[in-house]
Amino acid sequence: GQQVMQIPQYQHVQEGEDFTTYCNSSTTLSNIQWYKQRPGGHPVFLIQLVKSGEVKKQKRLTFQFGEAKKNSSLHITATQTTDVGTYFCAGHLYGNKLVFGAGTILRVKS
C-alpha cells in the first residue's frame, strides 16, 4: 500500500548536537507537512513544503523536499531541551490522501 516511511524511530542526542529525521514515500507526493508533538501533547503543524527541491527554515529547523518529491528531511541545528518530542512527516498523495510517517522520537540530554 501507499506508505510514508520515517527514520530513525528514536534518537537520543546531547544538547547542542544536531538532529535529522528522514521521510521517504513509495509514490510521488503533492506536498509534505511536518508536525511536532510534545510529550503528553498533540501534534502541532510546523510547516508545509510544496515545490520540488524546496528548502525552508524556521530558526534552527531546516526542512527539505526532495527533487523527485518522494523524500523529505527535518534537520535541527544545536538541539535544545525544548526540542524534545515526536516529529511526524505527513505526505499528501495525489488524490487528497494524507499519510503520516510513524514519527521520530527525539530526546535531548542536558
Partner 1 sequence: DVKVTQSSRYLVKRTGEKVFLECVQDMDHENMFWYRQDPGLGLRLIYFSYDVKMKEKGDIPEGYSVSREKKERFSLILESASTNQTSMYLCASSVARGTGNTIYFGEGSWLTVV
Window 8-27: contact mask with partner 1 (x via CB under 8 A): -x------------------
Type and span of the H or E element at 65: strand 61-65
Q: What 3-state DSSP class applies to 82?
A: helix
Instruction: List the one residue from 43, 61, 83, 108 that touches partner 1 (CB under 8 A).
Output: 43
Q: How far apart are CA 17 and CA 58, in angstroms?
A: 17
- 58: its cell numbers: 524556521
Nearer CB in complex with partner 1: 9/81: 9
Q: How far apart are CA 97 and CA 14, in angstroms?
A: 37
Nearer CB in complex with partner 1: 52/80: 52
List contacts with partner 1 (CB under 8 A).
Answer: 6, 9, 30-31, 33, 35, 41-45, 48, 50, 88, 90, 92, 94, 96, 98, 100-103
